[in-house]
Amino acid sequence: MDSYSNNGNGNNWYDLLQLIQENNENSENCENTCNRNTSVSDTNSCSVGATGPQGPRGCRGCRGATGATGATGPQGPRGCNGARGATGATGATGPQGPRGCNGARGATGATGARGATGPQGPRGATGARGATGCTGARGATGPAGGATGARGPRGATGATGATGATGARGTRGARGVTGATGAAATVRVGNVYTISPGECAKVVNTGTDENAVFDFYIPRGNTQGEILVTFNEDEQISASKGALVFGVNSLGMGEGISHEENTSDIEINKAGIYQIAFHCRGGVNTGTTLPETVNLRLYINGSAVEGAVTGHTFYSVCENASFGFNTVFSAEDCSTVQIVTDKGGYSFRNVMVSLLKVRE
């Protein structure tokens, strides 16, 4: 179709329509001509004349068969990214992965506010009754009350109840008030009696623990009166493995037994069988841990004599106790006799020993 431009002339629209119709008719004529030329072979040979002037442009030829596909051209440059599409629906949750390693421990958080105090628990059972403490000082007499009422009749004596089980030991009671200082104790020799040969020699306290009086019973025979009595009324503080000191020798007979006053050693100069009687009073010093047992033993030449021991277990600093033993032992010439305590922290007084030879 030929190009056409409108130059503003009103007749041109008519000319345009006529031109379109002519083109359509020419297209049909061209198509019929093409069909005839393809169906009839030209068998006449024609002579070639001089080339004439170029005729008008012919109709568009029929569409030929599709040619072979050409080689793929080079890839063009990458286009610009398109607009982001709408978000798709969320897929199903996948399976849980394996547990990871524990992370580092975080810093300790601040201490929370103290919670409210809980309700009070039930009252516990009453504890066992403790041991009776030392008797305290007697209090002052209170003011007299009203008149004494008439004494009621005495009720019948009830049946004796069964003895209850011994209760658990109670806690240590408070230390009582120190009592008044008692009278000084004494130790003295009473009478000396001669008894029949073969009888056992003995020493008997006919006084009290505080005021001892010792009578001596000595068998008649060839002992030649070997005897020693020594004592110490003063208080002496014990030391562990320490020997008691004897002060005054109140009785001595013969040369077989000797003692230097205010020393701890009694010397036996002649071998034989001897009887010893020992007595003293003891108490606890302040600061000693209780309860504790303290023992006093007979030692000969630095070795303890079996069976010759006396002891007491103290539970309170208020306590005082008597110690004593009476036994027979064998001694060689030049033997040393001692009374030894096994612990420190105690005090002893009214210490007395009598030593008597009973056999050669």
DSSP 210-222: SEEEEEEEEESSS
Helix (H) or strand (E) holding 300: strand 292-300
Domain housing 327: 186-359
Per-residue pLDDT of the chain (360 residues; tens, 9 = 90+): 444 444 444 456 666 676 666 666 655 554 554 444 444 444 444 466 788 888 888 777 778 788 888 888 888 888 788 888 888 888 888 898 888 788 788 888 888 888 888 888 888 788 777 666 666 666 666 666 667 767 778 777 777 777 777 666 666 656 555 555 555 566 677 787 777 666 766 778 888 877 778 787 776 654 456 899 999 999 999 988 999 999 999 998 888 899 999 999 999 999 999 999 999 999 999 999 999 999 999 999 999 999 999 999 999 999 999 999 999 999 999 999 999 999 999 999 999 999 999 988
Of 225, 320, 327, which is closest to residue 277 (Cα–Cα)? 327
> Would you state the structure tokens that stand for residue 356, as one six-digit string?
């008597």
Judge whether 49 lies within some domain. no
Number of domains forming the structure of the chain: 1
Judge whether 280 lies within some domain. yes
Q: What's the pLDDT at 38?
A: 44
The answer for residues whose C-beta is within 8 angstroms of residue 327's C-beta and 6 or more apart is 275, 276, 298, 305, 307, 308
Q: What's the pLDDT at 26?
A: 56
Give the CA-trace dihedral at 46, 50, 56, 62, to 10 degrees. 40
Judge whether 348 lies within some domain. yes
| Rounded distance between C-alpha atoms, residue 107 and residue 105, angstroms | 7
Judge whether 227 lies within some domain. yes
CA atoms within 13 A on the CB side of 225: 7
Q: Identify whether the C-beta of residue 190 lies closer than 8 Å to the C-beta of residue 215.
A: yes
Judge whether 64 lies within some domain. no
Of 241, 223, 244, which is closest to residue 350 (Cα–Cα)? 244
Q: What's the pLDDT at 71?
A: 87
Q: What's the pLDDT at 302?
A: 94
Judge whether 313 lies within some domain. yes
Three-state secondary structure string covering 143-182: CCCCCCCCCCCCCCCCCCCCCCCCCCCCCCCCCCCCCCCC
| Rounded distance between C-alpha atoms, residue 232 and residue 344, angstroms | 19
* CATH code of the domain in which 211 resides: 2.60.120.40
Name the pTM for this structure: 0.43
DSSP 243-283: EPPB-EEEEEESSSEEE-TTBS-EEE-S-EEEEEEEEEEEE
Q: What's the pLDDT at 53?
A: 87
φ/ψ of 217, rounded to 5, equals -115, 110
Residue 9: is it exposed, middle or buried by C-beta count within 10 angstroms (0-12/13-18/19+)?
A: exposed
Q: What's the pLDDT at 42?
A: 45
| Rounded distance between C-alpha atoms, residue 355 and residue 280, angstroms | 15
Judge whether 142 lies within some domain. no
Q: What's the pLDDT at 12?
A: 60
Judge whether 46 lies within some domain. no
> Would you state the structure tokens that stand for residue 74, as one six-digit string?
């080079």
Residue labelled with tokens 């020997």: 243
